[in-house]
Amino acid sequence: MAPLYPFLHTACRAFMAVVSRTTVLEGVEHFPKEPGFILAVNHLSNFDPPFVMACIPPRPQITVFAAAKRRKILPLHWLFSAAGVIYVRQAEADRAALKAAIEALKSGKSLGMSPEGTRSKSGMMIKARSGVAWLAQRADVPVIPMGIWGIEKIASALRSGHRGEVGARFGPALRLDRSLSAEEATDQLMRRIAALLPEPYRGYYA
């Protein structure tokens, strides 16, 4: 386990308790007790990583991705490196990050990823990229779908003087058929995530 992971997990729970109020948290029993999986979640806000961290059990550790540009912010770089983050260049196919992800999965680690690859500006699901499904098929690991909502409203709620209401729901583990194309597997995964969300959030996968 990365040296700062337990601290970050506790800090994220404390932080989210200050800025938000979780009104729904369901399906946590689907979160595996052993590592070697991908946690796939829709992407709404910069608050997503601490919120997801606050929702999951402290073990097993989840390795997450961070934009490579964060390396330039030295305190964040130190913190992320100590937490075992994998950096990725978002604007291009990052072969080094994909290789690191496959190696991490094959060594028994777990990854937290957003198939959409970028935040949804509307709050609704957008068409996903195929990288997460491709990784799951290539490493032959299960995917845990997770739907989150309300996180995109935290900042405006705080400006109004109150905590934002947020929710999360986990679904059963999904094994993506390796005979499917990465695009077909992505569609299957995203529809599983969409089914966990309130209808207004389903967007492209409604």
Residue 152, Cβ density class (10 Å: 0-12 exposed, 13-18 middle, ≥19 buried): buried
Residue 166 is predicted with a pLDDT of 98
pLDDT tens for the chain, 206 residues long, are 667 788 888 988 999 999 999 999 999 999 999 999 999 999 999 889 889 999 999 999 888 777 666 666 655 656 666 666 777 766 555 677 788 888 889 888 999 999 998 889 899 999 999 989 999 999 999 999 999 999 999 999 999 999 999 999 999 999 999 999 999 999 999 999 999 999 999 999 99
Angstrom distances, CA of residue 36 to CA of 42, 52, 60, 110: 20, 18, 9, 5
Residue 85 is predicted with a pLDDT of 73
Residue 191 is predicted with a pLDDT of 98
On whether the CB atoms of residues 8 and 63 are closer than 8 A, the answer is: no
How much of the chain is in helix, strand and coil states, percent to nearest 5? 45, 20, 35
Angstrom distances, CA of residue 50 to CA of 30, 64, 142, 200, 203: 20, 11, 23, 23, 24
Residue 86 is predicted with a pLDDT of 74
Angle between helices 131-139 and 182-195 (to 10 degrees): 110
Cα–Cα distance measured from residue 134 to residue 182, given in angstroms and rounded to the nearest whole number? 5
